[in-house]
Copies of this chain bind each other. A is one copy, B any other.
């Protein structure tokens, strides 16, 4: 956990306070020297995560097959060695949501350098694409947009298990989409915008889900200056948003919100 400065905004007040933000780190799992996957995770119990992941994916059956587990926590790397030196089937590591290229590419080409260095190399690359929008939004408009967003997604709440995402211009919800996956809901919004020629610049992205580094990168790619969620951000999401000149708002519930970066856009 990291203690970060946050601006707490309500209809009547605006003040700086400290907030505990959860850590998010990449962990790359190797099985017998073959790279299997990079997971974004909470950096604790990494050995258990690596072993449990390999069990869940069918690479590992029981403890007797294990020879060694070596963790380099600083670099975010874990090597699992088995006695039989099984080689994973190719198809098992091919499909499903791919990584974000910006964050994973460095890791794929060189696993010798430190995790932090990789992260910050990736961020350096992204800095060239910082958000340029100078647009400011009234806090009342953000509260109102979030209120509309939550009421609109009530429709689907009969089932309980759905995430929502929306694009707002500060007055109306221009696009709203729902999905069982928080990534999918955001992708559907941006897909709709592209198909309907709705500009995403100078707009607000609203989400019901956690704000992770991957969501921040999606939002940055569409040059959206503000991302607002009723859920929590991770530490990496906050750091990225600060570097990318993006305004990141978490815990937007009722008439309150926590602004983790670039609060000047909210007046």
Interface residues of A (CB under 8 A from B): 1, 20-22, 24, 35-42, 44-45, 47-53, 55-58, 60, 62-63, 89, 91-101, 104-105, 107-108, 156, 158-162, 177-181, 183-184, 186-192, 194-195, 197, 210, 212, 217-218, 221-222, 231-234, 250-251
Contact = CB atoms under 8 A, between A and B. Distances in A.
A240 to B, nearest CB: 15
A218 to B, nearest CB: 5
B93 A105 contact: no
Copies in the complex: 2
A22 B159 contact: yes
A49 B184 CA distance: 6
A51 B177 CA distance: 14
14 contacts: A38-B96, A41-B181, A49-B184, A50-B191, A52-B190, A52-B194, A56-B217, A58-B101, A62-B194, A92-B101, A94-B98, A95-B104, A96-B104, A160-B250
A57 B100 contact: yes
The 5 closest A-B pairs by CB, nearest first: A52-B191, A161-B232, A52-B187, A48-B191, A160-B232
Please report whether the interface of chain A is mostly helix, strand, loop or mixed according to DSSP.
mixed
Contacts of A250: 160
Contacts of A189: 48, 52
A99 B96 contact: yes
Contacts of A53: 184, 187, 191
Contacts of A186: 52, 56
A55 B194 contact: yes
A255 to B, nearest CB: 18
A45 to B, nearest CB: 5
Contact of A52 (B47, B49, B192): B192
Nearest to A178: B42
A197 B63 contact: yes
A56 B187 contact: yes
A64 B56 CA distance: 42
